[in-house]
Amino acid sequence: MIIKIPDRFFQHAKAAEDGAGRANYRVGRRDFVGSALAAATLPLGRAWADANDVELPEQLSAIGLDGKPLAIARADIKEFRASLRGQLLLAGNEGYEQARKIWNGVFDRHPALIARCADSDDVVKAVNFARAHGVLTAVRGGGHSISGQSSCEGGLMIDLAPMKEIHVDAAKMTAQAQAGVLLGDFDRESQASGLVTTLGTASDTGIAGLTLGGGLGRLQRKFGLACDNLIAANIVTADGKTLHVSERENPDLFWGIRGGGGNFGVVTRFEYRLHKFGPNLLAGNRAFPIARAREVIPALLELMASADDDLSYTFGLSKSPPTPGQPEGSYLEMELIYTGDLNQGDRVLASLDKLGKPAFDDIAVKPYLKAQLGVSGAAPRSLPPGLRIYSKSGFVYGSPDKLLDEMLAQFDASPKYIGDMGFSPMGGAVGRVKPDATAFWNRNSSYMVMLHGAWVDPALDSVAVEGGRHIWQALEPYTRGHYVNAEPGAEGQRLRDTYGDGYPRLVELKNKVDPTNLFRLNSNIKPTV
């Protein structure tokens, strides 16, 4: 239940979208056309372009950073395309329609250009092109952006999906991964060496956006956030420079990318600290009829409060059964993660058994890789994109009692396609890191709450979004800030609460590395220069 789209949507394999807009589309590897000789003697982008080019207008219409129309000359596009090892896609090119579509079906956007980067040099060229032309720019990593900001209408999408290299150094207990890598792929590579790091809760999520936004996950109480396990990174800044960042090199920028999102450039490679773990843990879900929510939730909160680093409970209110075959209706669903001595599993379950007989239970000793697939046990990325999602989030300090009362009231009154709510504890290793050690500020909060809705029919978009806004207006006063990976970018006081006392430092960093706000499609820290 930790900050993820309900598994029932994956189980039914419906076209899915995520109402705040995280973009997940699975694009196949390049299929370069042309002879081996051509591929060997020309840049790969040139070989592709010669075989798949469409007639270009003298001027390509696009949208600028200021939101106004601009025109890009045919010669500039051809030069850009020829310089890339990867592909430059325009409307009409083979693969454009597949590449432009993101996981959240609410966002049906048509970039003027999509640069599918093969390596970091391609990223540099794409950033230089974006800056030179002042074109609106989106950056796509793994493509699971709930906010929809990994794509843009009429702009340039810098697509990192082809960049999927992973290298695990078992001796040093580290891993390096390019920005197009997905969680499931990273987890498999690290677990092959008996190692792991905190990375989200859905296997089709990209490591890039997840880590830059902080990176909550099933192992956070034991090992900290994804950004807490980041050792170093390579980033292309708005001036086209490639910088290596770590505690020793460009430390301010290293601080900023750990929770500050994509505000400061395009991270092309991540290096993580790994931990010995697995392959098994005690994990799974139980569901109770919603009529028992007011009885069960206080007991769950008590279990959360007494849990050590090895134990995590999360819960959520859902208007659909946890799996097909369960009776229709609303449920209180909870997830347990226990990473300690499996010989103590009976003791852990004994505490949970006090909640009474559940309507559904799949808690068992299982491989970590299976736990990362959630209730469905099937990789979400194998399903078609398009589910439509609305999502909001916030951090909770102190007692959650009044918030929970409001959540239950709103849940009872909301329609089936909007109003599901998740509730996750913070604490553990996350809370032992000082708030100012990284740009992820709200680590000392007690809980994180998330509201989400999911539907398939586009005709429901307006009523679902309006319904979600109405519900969040009732919940927001009990929260502070937001999780930048879970919804569109906030503004004003809510944005400042997201970054807390680190906000002025982030603005100063933005002024230094991106004074024109080239990277603005995020929870945007606006420069003041």
pLDDT of the residue at 19: 32
Q: Is the pLDDT of residue 48 over 60?
A: no
pLDDT of residue 30: 25
Q: Class for domain 280-492, per CATH? A: alpha beta
Q: Which of 282-286, 414-418, 514-518 has the lowest mean pLDDT?
A: 414-418
CATH of 166-276, one of 3.40.190.290, 3.90.105.10, 3.30.720.110, 3.30.465.10: 3.30.465.10
- The residue-averaged pLDDT of 292-304 equals 96
What average pLDDT does the structure give for the chain? 88
Question: Letter for the amino acid at 349?
Answer: L
Q: Give pLDDT, residue 397.
A: 97
Residue 449 in tokens: 């709450």
pLDDT score of 387: 84
* Segment 51-84, tens digit of pLDDT: 355 678 899 999 999 999 999 999 999 999 999 9
Pick the CATH number of 8-159 from 3.40.50.11260, 3.30.43.10, 3.20.20.70, 3.30.420.40: 3.30.43.10
Q: Per-residue confidence at 489, pLDDT binned at 50, 70, 90? A: confident
Rg (CA), the chain: 23
376-390 mean pLDDT:
61
What distance in Å separates the CA atoms of residue 344 and residue 82, rounded to the nearest whole number? 60
| pLDDT at res. 510 | 98
Residue in the structure block whose two tokens are 């599918």: 116
Where do the structural domains in the chain lie, given as residue ranges?
Answer: 8-159, 166-276, 280-492
Topology alike, domains 166-276 and 280-492: no
Cβ–Cβ < 8 Å for 23, 151: yes
User: Is the distance from CB of 17 to CB of 484 less than 8 angstroms?
Assistant: no
Query: Does residue 28 register a pLDDT over 60?
Result: no
HEC string of 49-65 equals HHHHCCCCCCEEEEEEC
pLDDT above 90 covers a percentage of the chain that reads: 77
